Each structure stands twice: as C-alpha cells, then as structure tokens.
Amino acid sequence: MIVIGGFILGAAIGGLTAKRRGGRRLDILQYAAGYAIAFTLLGLFATIFIDRMAR
C-alpha cells in the first residue's frame, strides 16, 4: 500500500509542480511520471525496510 500511495502522491506533486511553473500538457505528464517513479521507489524501499525490521 505504501508503494501505491507513493505513486499517487508523486504523480499529484509532479503534476502540480509543472502546472505552477507554466508547463504545457506534455510537460505536466512528464513531471507527473518522473515524480511518480521516484516516489514509488521510495515507497518500495520503505516497504522493504519495514518488512525487514518486523522480522
């Protein structure tokens, strides 16, 4: 669930960042995708860390 939340949060933050900077539609999509990937990876590492600490 952390991974999915990271994806959604990253896409939202990336899209809003590009829109605030005056980006066009493709700019907004690129920022959303980039941030979504980054936040998804952070969520994946957090999930792995939590799982290892729980054992």
Q: What pLDDT was estimated at residue 30?
A: 98
Range of the domain at 38: 2-50
| Residue entry with tokens 């729980």 | 54
Q: Which of 35, 14, 10, 12 is nearest to 23 (CA)?
A: 14
**Is residue 26 in some structural domain?**
yes
Domain count of the fold of the chain: 1
Could you read off the pLDDT of 5-49 as tens digits, one per residue?
A: 999 999 999 999 999 999 999 999 999 999 999 999 999 999 999
Q: What pLDDT was estimated at residue 12?
A: 98
**Is residue 55 in some structural domain?**
no
Q: What pLDDT was estimated at residue 49?
A: 97
The runs of H, that is alpha helices, within the chain are: 2-20, 25-54
Q: What pLDDT was estimated at residue 28?
A: 98
* Alpha carbon of residue 50 to chain centroid: 19
